[in-house]
Amino acid sequence: MRYSGLRVIKEALTGHKGWTPAWRDPAPKPQYDIVIIGGGGHGLATAYYLAKQFSQKSVAVLEKGWIGGGNVGRNTTIIRSNYLLDGNEPFYEFSLKLWEGLEQDFNYNAMVSQRGILNLIHSDGQRDAFIRRGNAMILNGADAELLSTAQIKARYPFLNTHDARFPIKGGLAQHRGGTVRHDAVAWGYARGADSRGVDIIQNCEVTDFRIENGTCLGVETTKGFIGAGKVGCAVAGSSSRLMAKADMRLPMESHVLQAFVSEGLKPVLPGVVTFGAGHFYVSQSDKGGLVFGGDIDGYNSYAQRGNLPVVEDVCEGGMAIFPMLGRARLLRMWGGIMDMSMDGSPIIDKTHIDGLYFNGGWCYGGFKATPASGYCFAHLLATDTPHQTATAYRFDRFEKGLMIDEKGVGNQPNLH
């Protein structure tokens, strides 16, 4: 069923009896050409592009819980392509371009809102770094603009620009950045993949790999063995636990990141703002809630909940630049598990086991990457060669000393 304005009117006039489920609930088949583990944004996008772009007819996505229950439905919804290094910037700009056409492409309203993102500058050294980053972005075909304090005050009057502990000295803006309704991304990709024949199997946990003579033949699951020509793993925060079942130790740790939503307020923030002297970022949802976050909880964990010291730290960061935040009540908070790679950049690569492929290491920044990650992983699975924008995301970069030393990712979040 195609969604359209006319369809909404027709259904409204006929008692909404014509809507069909957005995706099927199939039983798993014994064998697929390609099995994707993980029904988060990246796994579903991979399946969608495998079917749409690479004409794969026999694909399944196995999800241990429900679609949208992982980080794809837990993040703070920010998209941007403001990276510095060549290994990253073309990939994230490719992703932003895919976001720009996504809703028409998969025929689903994901509320892609290019309301802009502003990284605040608090020192002269930081200005130099952001000018360099802005120039790198422009050279890679992205947009970037350096704003003065006066320009920022005109756009964001609630920011404390007069007596803040860390004075605002300007900002780097990417006007094409913004927010996207996160769970709608999962639903849109799921619906698009399902309509092209992909089986999306929920409540189906992968418990082991069947590997014989160095080749992966399929996966053991809570619904029995499922054979596969190729297996693609896209389980984000569960990456190290899953890959341990294939005897692989990843250059990755899992940490919790928390998100917060205030009560609904009248419009006060036109775009996304990040604090450059501490770690705090905020946007306002279409319902009026301020959606914000900051540092990861500083310990390894697989629990989808965080601790109070980080709540205090995040709120302090917010109050430092945005004192009116102290008057708003907090409505909700939650946590998600981050697959933190050792250089802060992801991996989209084959493993040393034939037929086993890996996608992970997204840290706290993988939502914006969802379309490109799915596209590039599908490219790798279908063609056995990396997509041109993802050639740096290899396992062996740690072994060869070719780390992608991007600032503002991994353990240096406040520098983005």
Ligand X SMILES: Cc1cc2nc3c(=O)[nH]c(=O)nc-3n(C[C@H](O)[C@H](O)[C@H](O)COP(=O)(O)OP(=O)(O)OC[C@H]3O[C@@H](n4cnc5c(N)ncnc54)[C@H](O)[C@@H]3O)c2cc1C
Binding site for ligand X (CB under 6 A): 37-43, 62-65, 69-72, 74-78, 205-206, 234-238, 242, 257-259, 293, 336, 362, 364-368
Q: How far apart are CA 406 and CA 85, in angstroms?
A: 6
Least CB distance to ligand X at residue 17 (A): 32
Query: Of 164 and 355, which CB lies nearer to ligand X in the complex structure?
Result: 355
Query: Of 7 and 332, which CB lies nearer to ligand X in the complex structure?
Result: 332
Please provide the DSSP assignment of 95-155 as one string: HHHHHHHHHHHHT-----B---EEEEE-SHHHHHHHHHHHHHHHHTT---EEE-HHHHHHH
Q: Which two tokens stand for residue 239?
A: 């990456």
Query: Of 164 and 295, which CB lies nearer to ligand X in the complex structure?
Result: 295
Polymer length in residues for the chain: 416
Query: At residue 41, what is the residue type?
Result: G
In sequence order, which residues have a C-beta less than 8 Å from that of residue 201 and are 6 or more positions away? Answer: 26, 27, 28, 60, 61, 62, 63, 223
Least CB distance to ligand X at residue 78 (A): 3
Cα angle for residues 214, 215, 221 (degrees, 5° grid): 120
Query: Of 82 and 258, which CB lies nearer to ligand X in the complex structure?
Result: 258
Residue in the structure block whose two tokens are 């965080």: 306
Least CB distance to ligand X at residue 2 (A): 25
Least CB distance to ligand X at residue 258 (A): 6
Least CB distance to ligand X at residue 358 (A): 13
Query: Of 179 and 195, which CB lies nearer to ligand X in the complex structure?
Result: 179
- Position of minimal CB gap to ligand X: 40
Please provide the DSSP assignment of 186-254 as one string: HHHHHHHHHHTT-EEE-S--EEEEEEETTEEEEEEETTEEEEEEEEEE--GGGHHHHHHTTT---SEEE
Least CB distance to ligand X at residue 193 (A): 13
Query: Of 87 and 164, which CB lies nearer to ligand X in the complex structure?
Result: 87
Query: Of 76 and 284, which CB lies nearer to ligand X in the complex structure?
Result: 76
Least CB distance to ligand X at residue 128 (A): 26
